Structure 1
């Protein structure tokens, strides 16, 4: 049997983008399982959520947004540090780039390695990779929550850190009046979870509990379609939790009996593939997911830095 192509290196087909207007001045762009991105209008400014992988890709998003509003970007909010979410930041010309305290620390600690890793794993997303001027550095960070007053009668946008999950520094953007939540990669709507830098038990427990407690009526996850309605939002959150719990159960069982990482990967794949295997990037993510969870179960508190070389070594070990 031929070897599986590395990560998403063979996924080169363009995805159809869909702009959705979720409420007056609230926008989301989805793209068939590619990273989602959004924007919220203030009275005389914009708040953009996520930045895509390159300035060239970001400018394409901004051209779509400019068909609806010409307000300047005052704030660019980054949900976490991963390269495909942040390296397009220079295209926005934002006055302020906001992230969690830990996100800034992670950019300093492993931003360069993550850049090289993610662009090798997902070359299609790295559109015009040479347009990236360098690492993206937040200019304003916080530890718990921050509030952006949108002006006029537009209410507020609340930025919250609900706990460790997809990374150490995930944050969500919450519009309490409209009950719209931009959840970043803490929730995926029918797209596979990437957990290579995760804290699985906290994510599956108190962090997702915090997401659910907001009571969103509309949720924009990190990938996948916009989820509408309380029941559908709850289902997306619980689907994310179920994926994590299956991984914890299967990998934990192999780890507990003294098995191997390869056995843990095979057990997790067998348990998840029937329900989730058709989702975008499932095959890409799972080797890295299992490797991180194995480390976590072995007492490795913080994720080991992913480099392009380590990516290949883990892939080859688990996919042969």
Structure 2
């Protein structure tokens, strides 16, 4: 292998920003690293995406303590990826861990393999990984939709549809019109599509757009607080998916192998998207999944640490 994963050399710490989007509603963003959200209710708080390790969750708890002393009673997982969920043990209060039933199913099916794979790929995002006690398991699952009441504050939690994974969940505050999209929407960041459903994802984005949010917190990138930014975030994500899956589908129809499809995708997409963060890291995984789906493989194949290395050698070695 000529080089390690692109992300293994990404060691520079990112500057975090903790922004209030509406009274008691906050976004933690970090220059393209995974985002989290905080919603403060009458007597408790909700965290949206737990972060990757208990130590990193502790940093978010410290941010929360700057704005409220109310206990954090709920943690929502937007999907199953390790970088979003393994920090649950870092919350000092007893929490309800909320996830869609599809997300729990993915943890059962592939959670351990995903944890080992992600830690290998992107070590900087797992600061204090030795403190992770094991997989994070939801304590409360739902099918389709549920409503969480934080006193008088309403948080609608919806399994929005397949896209980034088959279990993607959003948090929607209808009174404040603030939307936390998880990795269904990215802004200035390359969508990770290793577990994606390319053909379903655009319709899921349509459902998000129909909410007509005043502010949208993407999975990565700054919080979007104007109609123009929100349209740009949705359109950019759609465009990336359309362009990549189109290349993969044409390659499969023509009988090209994965390496040929990857080389074409990198050549055609780098000029348009190469400035987005984690482009070099995501593309081998993204093209691999797009190629599989174009060949008719509906359920994404499980990524393991061994499969990661095999794929990287084949495409970048």
TM-score (norm 1): 0.97
Contact 1:251–1:267 at 8 Å: present in 2 too?
no
RMSD of the alignment, in Å? 1.1
The offset of 1:221, in angstroms, is: 0.4
Distance 2:206 2:94 in 1: 32
Instruction: State the partner residue of 1:315.
Output: 312
- Which one of the candidate residues 281, 290, 294 is aligned to 2:287? 290
Structure 2 counterparts to residues 211-222 of structure 1, below 5 A: 211-222=208-219
**What's 2:108 paired with?**
108
Q: 1:191 matched to which residue of 2?
A: 189
State the shift of 1:150 in Å.
Answer: 2.2
Question: What does residue 132 of structure 1 align with?
Answer: 132
Once the two structures are TM-superposed, the CA of residue 4 in structure 1 deviates from its matched residue by 4.2
Secondary structure of the corresponding residue to residue 310 of structure 1: helix
Q: Once the 2 structures are TM-superposed, how far is the Cα of residue 231 of structure 1 from its aligned partner?
A: 2.4
Q: How does 1:46-57 map to 2 (within 5 A)?
A: 46-57=45-56
Aligned length: 316
1:66 is paired with a residue whose SS is helix
Q: Which residue matches 2:251? A: 254
The residue correspondences of 1:46-125 to structure 2 (distance < 5 A) are 46-92=45-91, 93-125=93-125
**2:269 is the alignment partner of 1:272:** yes
Q: Secondary structure at the match of 1:265?
A: helix
Does residue 281 of structure 1 match 2:278? yes
Runs of 4+ off more than 2 Å: 2-5
**Which residue in the other structure is 1:245 paired with?**
242
Alpha-carbon distance in structure 2 between the residues aligned to 1:182 and 1:216: 10
> Is the 1:76–1:94 Cα contact (8 Å) retained in structure 2?
no
C-alpha separation between the residues in 1 aligned to 2:122 and 2:313? 17
Q: 1:158 aligns with which of 152, 156, 159?
A: 156
The answer to whether the 8 A contact 1:195-1:292 is kept is yes
Deviation per residue, 1:135-181 (Å, 9 max, x gap): 000011111111011224xx311011121000010000001111110
Contact 1:78 1:86 in 2 (8 A): yes
TM-score under structure 2 length normalisation: 0.97
CA contact (8 A) 1:250 1:271 kept: no
In 2, Cα distance between equivalents of 1:162 and 1:241: 16
Corresponding residue for residue 11 of structure 1: 10
